[in-house]
Amino acid sequence: MTKAPTPFVLWFTGLSGSGKSTLADKTADFLSVKEYDFERLDGDTLRGVFPSTGFSQAERDEHIQRVGFMSGLLEKHGVIVIASFISPYRQSRDFVRKRCRNFIEVYVKASLATCEARDVKGLYKKARAGQIREFTGIDDPYEDPTRPELVIDTDRESVEESMQRIMDSIQKFL
């Protein structure tokens, strides 16, 4: 590695099944090969560490704000942050944006029908059956970002096309 990158927070947001984790993982793979110092934060992983995190709007907001605060601290100390969270509410994402110097919001956009068809965890099926309550996109809203730095439409773009656009958007920091 010849020069140190400028740290940034790459925040993937979108419905469950939209492709956030796939794209974030591939971005992390790229950074790893280049030997950049980064941290990969994922909603499922952190909920495993903090199992008492609930799904009400207040609990989701609090969770995202904690992760956003942590992301800002990591960035401040020179670490690139790759975060993938449904983060359904604009107010929480705006909180995170304000805590970061170089915040790149990536809206991983996919139709509800596409996300339900991809439902590898069976969560949509459980939500439709009433076994999961307050599920984003079913009985809890997802507020589309109003000014994301990047919109990745996984209904229309291949993973390769999406990754090229992500790489183009972070290149100035590397």
Q: Is residue 158 part of a domain?
A: yes
- Asked if residues 62 and 41 have their Cβ atoms less than 8 Å apart, the reply is no
* 167 inside domain: yes
pLDDT of residue 105: 98
The amino acid at 130: G
47 in a structural domain:
yes
Q: What is the pLDDT of residues 115-134, one digit of tens each?
A: 999 998 899 999 999 998 88
Q: Which two tokens stand for residue 35?
A: 């030997």
Residue 120 placed within a domain = yes
Top pLDDT among 59 and 87 is at 87
Q: Is residue 115 situated within a structural domain?
A: yes
- Whole domain around residue 122: which residue ranges? 9-173
Count structural domains, the chain. Answer: 1
Active site residue 52: no
Would residue 133 count as lying in a domain?
Answer: yes
Whole-model pTM: value is: 0.93
Residue 20 lies in a domain: yes
Tell me: the pLDDT tens digits for 61-117? 888 998 999 999 999 999 999 999 999 999 999 999 999 999 999 999 999 999 999
pLDDT at 2 over 60: no
Distance from C-alpha of 8 to C-alpha of 1, rounded to nearest angstrom? 17
**pLDDT tens-digit series, residues 16-47:** 999 999 999 999 999 999 999 999 999 777 76
In a domain, 4, yes or no: no
Query: How many CB atoms lie under 10 A from the CB of residue 7?
Result: 20
> Which one of 16, 71, 87, 162 is the catalytic residue?
87
